[in-house]
Amino acid sequence: MPATLALVGDYTAESVAHRAIPLALELAGLAENLPVTWTWVPTVSIQHPARDLARFTAIWVVPASP
């Protein structure tokens, strides 16, 4: 079963971590032979966390975000 992650935070290309996280997820998926997908979820878009994030397998609150 593929893993689907919510990357919760406000993406900015200036953040080294924000650029590196997708690459790290891709490499981890390849190493484990597991399809991994992710979606950036801006913090302001989360009104009801249980409902808004329920479709994801895991949640990663990324650094350098509010």
The per-residue pLDDT for range 2-49, each reduced to its tens digit, is 789 999 999 999 999 999 999 999 999 999 999 999 999 999 999 999
Structure tokens at 4: 């689907």
Q: 39 vs 64, which has greater pLDDT?
A: 39
Q: How far apart are CA 39 and CA 36, in angstroms?
A: 10
Amino acid at 49: P
Tell me the backbone φ, ψ of residue 27, rounded to 5 degrees: -65, -40
Rounded to two decimals, the pTM is 0.85
